C-alpha cells in the first residue's frame, strides 16, 4: 500500500479517471474504463481483464477494505484524499473505491446460438440492466451497432453489475453484425409483432433485436429482422421499457431451451 495520499487534481491517475468517467472519446483514446464500487470491482479482479490501478478513499466500507486486503502483488492501489475522490465519483453514495481496466478484446463464439442486438438504445441504465439480464439468461454475445449509447460509460457499467467482465460486447458496424448473425432467426421485439413470445420458437439459433423506446429500431435493423414478436399484455399500459421487454424475451428463450424434449 502506498504511503502517500493523492491530493492533487492534477495527478495523472486522477486526471485519467476523470476523463474516463466523463468522456467516451477518452475511453476510446485510452482503451480503458472505470468500474466503481466493491461489487463490480470484485468481478473485475476475478476476471482476466487487465487492471491498470485502483483508487480508494480513506473512509471505506467493510467490503471495500476486504477487497483491498486481497489484491495481488503487483496490482497498483492508490489512496486518495476523501474530498478529491468524492469529486471523481459518479455515484451519490460512493463505496469509496474504483478500478481502471483495459477495455477487453471480445472473445465471441464463432457460431453463436443466442445473440442480442441493441439498436438505438440511448438510456445507459436500461443498457446496463439488459447486460445484467443477458448474462444471467445465457446470451452468448451482445451486438451494439452505431447509434447505441457507449457501453463502457460509468452508469452502464454500474447498472450491469459485472456483466462487462463476462459478456462479449461487440461494438460493430451493421455490415459486421449482419455477417455475424447470418443463419440466425432475428426476432424484432415489437408491440405489434406478428406472433406472441409464447408462440415463437426460440429453440433454434436466435437473435433478439431490441430497439430504443424513443425511436425503435433503425432502417438497418428493420432489414435484418426476419420475424417480429410481441409480449402479450392485458393491462392498459401501452408498452414496456426496453430493459423489461428484453429481459422478458431473453428468459423466454432460456425457458424454452431448458424444457425437456
pLDDT tens digits for range 192-243: 899 999 999 999 999 999 998 788 899 999 999 999 999 999 888 877 899 9
Please tell me whether residues 175 and 246 are part of one structural domain: yes
How many whole angstroms separate alpha carbon 216 and alpha carbon 20?
29
Q: Is 200 helix (H, G, I), strand (E, B) or coil?
A: coil
pLDDT tens digits along 42-79: 999 999 999 999 999 988 888 999 999 999 998 999 99
Q: Whole-model pTM?
A: 0.93
Please tell me whether residues 146 and 236 are part of one structural domain: yes
What pLDDT was estimated at residue 1? 46
How many whole angstroms separate alpha carbon 100 and alpha carbon 87?
16
pLDDT tens digits along 11-34: 999 999 999 999 999 999 999 999
CB 89 within 8 A of CB 117: no
Phi, then psi, of 84 in degrees rounded to 5: -70, -45
Q: Which residue has the cell 476510446?
A: 28
Assign residue 36 the CATH number of its domain: 3.30.1330.30
Please tell me whether residues 74 and 122 are part of one structural domain: no
Flag whether 1 is in a domain: no
Based on the structure, what is the number of domains in the chain? 2
Q: What order of strands is seen across the sheet that includes strand 114-119?
A: 169-170, 141-143, 114-119, 206-211, 185-189, 227-230, 195-196
- Any idea of the CA torsion for 153, 158, 160, 164, to the nearest 10 degrees? 60
Q: Which of 130, 115, 90 is nearest to 213 (CA)?
A: 130
Q: Report how far apart, in Å, the C-alpha atoms of 237 and of each of 15, 158, 231, 234, 241 are.
A: 45, 29, 12, 8, 11
Flag whether 39 is in a domain: yes
| pLDDT, averaged across the chain | 93
Assign residue 120 the CATH number of its domain: 3.40.1280.10
Please tell me whether residues 120 and 143 are part of one structural domain: yes
Please tell me whether residues 31 and 79 are part of one structural domain: yes
Domain containing 163 equals: 114-258
Amino acid at each position: 500500500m502506498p504511503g502517500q495520499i493523492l491530493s492533487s487534481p492534477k495527478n495523472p491517475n486522477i486526471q485519467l479517471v476523470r476523463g474516463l468517467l466523463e468522456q467516451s472519446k477518452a475511453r476510446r483514446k485510452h482503451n480503458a474504463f472505470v468500474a466503481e464500487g466493491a461489487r463490480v470491482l470484485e468481478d473485475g479482479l476475478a476476471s482476466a481483464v487487465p487492471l491498470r490501478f485502483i483508487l480508494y478513499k480513506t473512509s471505506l466500507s467493510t467490503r471495500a477494505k476486504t477487497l483491498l486486503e486481497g489484491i495481488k502483488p503487483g496490482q497498483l492501489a492508490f489512496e486518495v484524499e476523501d474530498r478529491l475522490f468524492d469529486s471523481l465519483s459518479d455515484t451519490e453514495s460512493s463505496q469509496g473505491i474504483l478500478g481502471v481496466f483495459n477495455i477487453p478484446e471480445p472473445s465471441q463464439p464463432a457460431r453463436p446460438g443466442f445473440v442480442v442486438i441493441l439498436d438505438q438504445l440511448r438510456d445507459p441504465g436500461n443498457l446496463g440492466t439488459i447486460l445484467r439480464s443477458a448474462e444471467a439468461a445465457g446470451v452468448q454475445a451482445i451486438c451494439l451497432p452505431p447509434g447505441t449509447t457507449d457501453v463502457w460509460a460509468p452508469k452502464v457499467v454500474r447498472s450491469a453489475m459485472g456483466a462487462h467482465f463476462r459478456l462479449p460486447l461487440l461494438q460493430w458496424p451493421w455490415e459486421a453484425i449482419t455477417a455475424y448473425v447470418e443463419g440466425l432467426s432475428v426476432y424484432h421485439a415489437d408491440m405489434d409483432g406478428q406472433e406472441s413470445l409464447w408462440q415463437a420458437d426460440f429453440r433454434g439459433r436466435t437473435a433478439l433485436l431490441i430497439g430504443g423506446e424513443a425511436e425503435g429500431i433503425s432502417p438497418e435493423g428493420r432489414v435484418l429482422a426476419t420475424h417480429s414478436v410481441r409480449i402479450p399484455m392485458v393491462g392498459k399500459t401501452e408498452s414496456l421499457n426496453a430493459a423489461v421487454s428484453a429481459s422478458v424475451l431473453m428468459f423466454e428463450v432460456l425457458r424454452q431451451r431448458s424444457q425437456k424434449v
